[in-house]
Amino acid sequence: MKLAITRAAIADERDAENFRGRPDFRKATRNMCLVQAALEKFGEWNSRGRRVGVVLGTSHGELSSTADFLSELGIRNVARPFLFQNSLHNSTLGFITQRLQFTGPSFTVSNQYFSGERSLELAHSLLVGNLVDSCLVVGVDSIAAPAKEALRAIYPDEVNLGEGAAAILLERDESPQALGYLAEVNCHSSSVDKKPVQMTASYYDSDAIQHLVQMVLGRERERTLVKPDGTSSLIRVS
Amino acid sequence: MFNHTQKPLTNSVPVCVTGTGVISCAGLGADALWNAAVEGKSFVESGLGKLDDDLLDRARTECEKSQFYPALANMHAQLPKSKFGFLALYAALKAMEDAGWDKLNSDDGLILGTTTGNILSWEDDFIAFGKGEIGHDQFAEAFRHEPLGKSLDTVRTALDFDGRNCLVTSACSSSTQAIAQAAMWIREGKAKRVLVGGAEVLCQLTIRGFQSLQLLSEKACTPFDANRSGINLSEGAGFLCLEAGPSPHARALVSGHGFSSDGYHMTAPHPEGRGSYEAMEQAIASAGIAKRDISWIHAHGTGSPANDFSEGTAISQLFGEESVWVSSTKGVHGHALGASGIIESILCVKAIEHQTLVKTRGLNAPDPRMRLKHPTENRRELISHILKNSLGFGGANASLVLSSLATMVIP
């Protein structure tokens, strides 16, 4: 079965900044703004009564809200409800589904360096299993304060840690609107000699979706994504 | 009232449950959990279902002395030091032992559902670092465990497994979604066997967080009761071994699943249970059965006023009033958030094996706004299909249909 990519968009920190000051984003986190920005870049799209699912991949989830919650708890012994509701890994998707009044299947996946790849695999299952006709796949990770410094403790110095969100719309049926077809997602997590690699380009754990968007827009067939620990994944588009 | 039948399933590839493993505040193993549910004994103390040190010590001893585990030790298996890692690995190993799996092969699958994962490994140090009580090096060492994906790596590494794997984190629906994903992998042929589970530990984030939302009860919860006063957080882990059927070791079937989003609120469920209704309806349809074929609904039933009302309303609307048995066991073992779906699915497997459905502990005065059919005592009767519900924060709903082997048709 061919899976057509019919929409694709990337959002970065500048796009997320556009939501600053908007009343409806007053309690939104950086991840929520990044995902919303990516979806708005999709432009208008009509699901035409199709069953739509959404899978979101994120490694650190809403770490900034978790950090804020724990800091408030530690310093002032105060537990703030809105920080808690924003602190779970699936809070990003909860916010987005609420905004879109989205009622289809929604999954949040978190597999560290392979969060984007695993999201694509799950979307594939939903489509092949005929649970949905279309599936949004989103990858998002951010390095907003106060978690920014903490995150540096996780990555080797060689990693140029960035942030961003990317989204694609996968459809089961072949479509004249297809930007490309997702052919293969293959994770190679068993490197014998795992060691940190020099990464000059900006990197975030769930950026496989961003790479996929760049591939379909640039008509690139294949990319190998090298991870901070030396493992890798291969994504093919036909 | 529906006539309950043994309608055969139509799935092309039966997904068989061949092993269960669980550790909960009710004890070690599925039998301890089942016996507690049957006896209606609550293991919630001061509002929490905490695993005591004695239980954890017994679990460690059981692991170390088991004749089964040396085979795994030869694969470099070591018991993780973290509570989360140990709970998850204990339940995984018990499930594998139960199913007779001496190892995971590279073409098997591994899926884990959790909300906060290994948070105990870094939460205290994060707070202490913020208060200037510890130095950067100690903080950094602890914080390396922060990525949720590392929680799965703990199990993966201990089992020396490098095959297809995934961590699902959709709040309280996490492990229910994980079971469904495992069933999808088997039906698609991506894996013939999948070890799927969930694990959760009690931590400050969730205890103080739920407290801030005024959702915690200090007494054992009483789901669907008119006087229910909130939920009991708990911790634990459960795993299922799932295999493409038919299998001589099969004990039950995962025959249907459904998912939905409320699209309504970050923490509150849709008041009319719109999402839950949709997930249940899909699960029944995907099993290829009719509503009347459901013998029992093992509800999410947390004891939270809004959650129970939402789910109860959805059940009433979908099934009609007082038409199918509905109960919750959270008054026995508490609510283990991302692990609750798998722990309660294991109870459903036991219910199928014993052909017995259990009542809701502490339910004395059913909420009259929901006209549900609650068993007032445990009932031994023909159980063909059980509907298991999970409703999660963020409006993520999931339902499973678990079925008896008598419903299986060999393709």
Q: ipTM value, please give it.
A: 0.96
H or E segment and range at residue B244: strand B236-244
Task: With CB atoms and an 8 Å threshold, state whether A115 touches B139.
Answer: no
Question: For residue B66, what pLDDT is reported?
Answer: 77
Q: Hey, is B14 helix, strand or coil?
A: coil
- Contacts (Cβ under 8 Å, ≥6 apart) of B243: B15, B16, B18, B99, B186, B192, B193, B249, B250
- Give the pLDDT band of residue B4 (cuts 50, 70, 90): very low
Quickly count: other Cβ atoms within 10 Å of residue A234's Cβ: 14
What does the DSSP assignment read for B283-344?
A: HHHHTT--GGGEEEEE----S-HHHHHHHHHHHHHHH-TT-SEEE--HHHH-B-GGGHHHHH
β-strands B325-327, B233-234 pairing: unpaired
Q: Mean per-residue pLDDT for B211-240? A: 97
**Closest residue in chain A to residue B189, using alpha carbons only:** A125
Question: For residue B226, what pLDDT is reported?
Answer: 98
Q: Tell me: the pLDDT tens digits for A11-22?
A: 999 999 999 889
C-alpha atoms less than 13 angstroms from C-alpha of A95 in its C-beta half-sphere: 25
8 Å CB contact between A228 and A155: yes
What's the whole-number average pLDDT of chain B?
93
In chain B, residues with a C-beta closer than 8 Å to the C-beta of A101 are 263-264
Q: Tell me: the pLDDT tens digits for B81-132?
A: 899 999 999 999 999 999 999 999 999 999 999 999 999 999 999 999 989 9
- Give the pLDDT band of residue B65 (cuts 50, 70, 90): confident
What does the DSSP assignment read for B166-224?
A: EEE--GGGHHHHHHHHHHHHHHHTS-SEEEEEEEE---HHHHHHHHHTT-B-SS---TT
**Which tokens belong to B188?**
């698609």
Q: Tell me: the pLDDT tens digits for A56-89?
A: 999 999 999 999 999 999 999 999 999 999 999 9
Task: With CB atoms and an 8 Å threshold, state whether B393 touches A113.
Answer: no
In chain B, residues with a C-beta closer than 8 Å to the C-beta of A54 are 261
Of A103, A131, A153, the CB nearest to B144: A153
For residue B3, is pLDDT > 50?
no
For residue A6, is pLDDT > 80?
yes
Task: With CB atoms and an 8 Å threshold, state whether A87 touches B395.
Answer: no
**Closest residue in chain B to residue A206, using alpha carbons only:** B149
What's the whole-number average pLDDT of chain A?
91
Cα–Cα distance for residue pair A99/A36, rounded to 1 Å: 9
Question: For residue A194, what pLDDT is reported?
Answer: 62
Cα–Cα distance for residue pair B406/B253, rounded to 1 Å: 10
Question: For residue B77, what pLDDT is reported?
Answer: 59
Name residues 96-115 of chain B within 8 A of A (Cβ).
115
- Give the pLDDT band of residue B73 (cuts 50, 70, 90): low
β strands within B361-408, DSSP E: 379-380, 385-392, 396-403
- Give the pLDDT band of residue B214 (cuts 50, 70, 90): very high
Q: How close, in Å, is residue A204 to chain B by CA atoms?
A: 12
Question: For residue B97, what pLDDT is reported?
Answer: 93
Task: Give the count of Cβ contacts less than 8 A between chain A and B.
Answer: 189
Q: Tell me: the pLDDT tens digits for B302-332?
A: 999 999 999 999 999 999 977 899 999 999 9
What are the CA-CA distances from residue B354 to residues A45, B349, B362, B376 (Å)?
Answer: 51, 9, 22, 18
Of A63, A74, A87, the CB nearest to B130: A74
The residue type of A110 is: S
Task: With CB atoms and an 8 Å threshold, state whether B393 touches A67.
Answer: no
Q: Tell me: the pLDDT tens digits for B346-399?
A: 999 999 999 999 999 999 999 999 989 999 999 999 999 999 999 999 999 999
Q: How close, in Å, is residue A88 to chain B by CA atoms?
A: 7
pTM: 0.96
**In chain B, pLDDT over 70 holds for what percent of residues?**
95
Task: With CB atoms and an 8 Å threshold, state whether B170 touches A107.
Answer: yes
Task: With CB atoms and an 8 Å threshold, state whether B169 touches A129.
Answer: no
Question: For residue B203, what pLDDT is reported?
Answer: 98
Beta bridge partners of B28: B23
Task: With CB atoms and an 8 Å threshold, state whether B170 touches A60.
Answer: no
Q: Tell me: the pLDDT tens digits for A146-204?
A: 778 888 888 988 899 999 999 999 998 777 789 999 998 988 765 555 666 777 789 99
Of A73, A94, A131, the CB nearest to B266: A94
Please indicate if any CB of chain A lies within 8 Å of the CB of B397. no
For residue A46, is pLDDT > 80?
no
Please indicate if any CB of chain A lies within 8 Å of the CB of B128. yes
Give the closest residue to B56 by CA, choosing from B27, B94, B92, B98. B27
Interface test mutation site (partner A, options B15, B112, B154, B167, max chain A beta carbons within 10 A): B167
Give the closest residue to B299 by CA, choosing from B410, B409, B194, B388. B388
**In chain A, pLDDT over 90 holds for what percent of residues?**
74
